[in-house]
């Protein structure tokens, strides 16, 4: 079994020699609307070196920055990388994916429209699935039908759950993918969310930081840790006492490996 360096508070983390600190969000800095102890001070101390790298597929960087600001956690939107938003942007840049449908919450659907994805393809070639709070039996049937007709499925991320502050599971995009696969059988799902290293590579490119001086802080070795190692950067796992015993429920990806887009 791999040894993963683990801390239980932000006060234990030494970032003095780091040029960039990449941080997971849910289960790391916050859980729901609960800000974990020491998170605000850690974010403030890191300053412009801190980037949020999250599998969030409900927000854009702008909407998340506003939500975090309400919680007293100030991170500029330019330093927030989200699997959902970056998936939409990659979809918009893909000339093979113009006949696409985006199944996600309103912020991502609006972003898709603004980037030229009409989101009204009669016979879509690509489906992008995020953590769509509208998900229902009807939507599952619709998505499965498009896949049977030949559409390729992209998922913003493959996490089955993320934890609340009390360690209870909140269904994630991977749970929706699992529901679709229960109808269609196993699929080759494209995803840039962790454990893919795509989001980390984007952060390193935009920041210009040296990966040798980078640190990733996250609560889940199966996603954050795997992504960090794939990118060749150091990883530190943080387990907050209130939720640490429950994290095992979210530590796998439905038995699949991600396929980068």
Q: Which of 126, 129, 114 is CA-nearest to residue 57?
A: 129
Decide if 6-83+194-250 and 93-184 have a common fold. yes
pTM: 0.90
Which option is the CATH number for 93-184: 3.40.190.10, 3.40.50.1000, 3.10.20.30, 3.40.50.1010? Answer: 3.40.50.1000
Is the separation of the CB atoms in 108 and 101 below 8 Å? no
The three-point CA angle 76-49-209 to 5° equals: 115
Angle between helices 137-148 and 173-184 (to 10 degrees): 60
- Distance of alpha carbon 50 from alpha carbon 225, whole angstroms: 17
pLDDT of the residue at 241 = 75
Question: Would you say residue 248 has pLDDT above 70?
Answer: no
Q: List the domain boundaries for the chain.
A: 6-83+194-250, 93-184
Q: Which CATH class is domain 6-83+194-250?
A: alpha beta
pLDDT digits (tens, 9 = 90+) for 127-184: 999 999 999 999 999 999 999 999 999 999 999 988 777 878 889 999 999 999 999 9
């Amino acid at each position: 079994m791999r040894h993963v360096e683990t801390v239980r508070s932000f006060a234990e983390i030494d970032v003095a020699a780091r040029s960039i600190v990449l941080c997971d969000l849910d289960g790391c800095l916050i859980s729901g609307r609960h800000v974990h102890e020491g998170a605000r001070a850690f974010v403030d101390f890191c300053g412009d070196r801190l980037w949020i790298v999250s599998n969030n597929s409900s927000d854009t960087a702008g909407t998340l920055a506003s939500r975090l600001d309400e919680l007293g956690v100030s991170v500029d939107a330019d330093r927030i990388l989200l699997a959902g938003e970056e998936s939409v942007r990659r979809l918009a840049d893909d000339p093979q994916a113009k006949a696409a449908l985006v199944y996600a919450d309103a912020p991502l659907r609006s972003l898709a429209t603004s980037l030229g994805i009409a989101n009204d393809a009669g016979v879509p070639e690509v489906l992008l699935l995020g953590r769509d709070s509208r998900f229902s039996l009807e939507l599952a049937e619709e998505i499965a039908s498009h896949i049977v007709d030949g559409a390729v499925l992209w998922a913003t991320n493959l996490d089955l759950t993320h934890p609340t502050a009390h360690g209870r599971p909140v269904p994630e995009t991977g749970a929706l993918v699992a529901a679709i696969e229960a109808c269609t059988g196993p699929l080759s799902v494209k995803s840039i969310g962790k454990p893919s290293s795509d989001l980390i590579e984007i952060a390193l490119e935009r920041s210009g930081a040296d990966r040798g001086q980078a640190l990733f802080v996250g609560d889940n070795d199966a996603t954050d840790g795997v992504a960090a190692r794939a990118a060749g950067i150091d990883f530190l796992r943080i387990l907050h006492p209130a939720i640490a015993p429950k994290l095992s429920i979210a530590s796998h990806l439905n038995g699949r490996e991600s396929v980068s887009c």
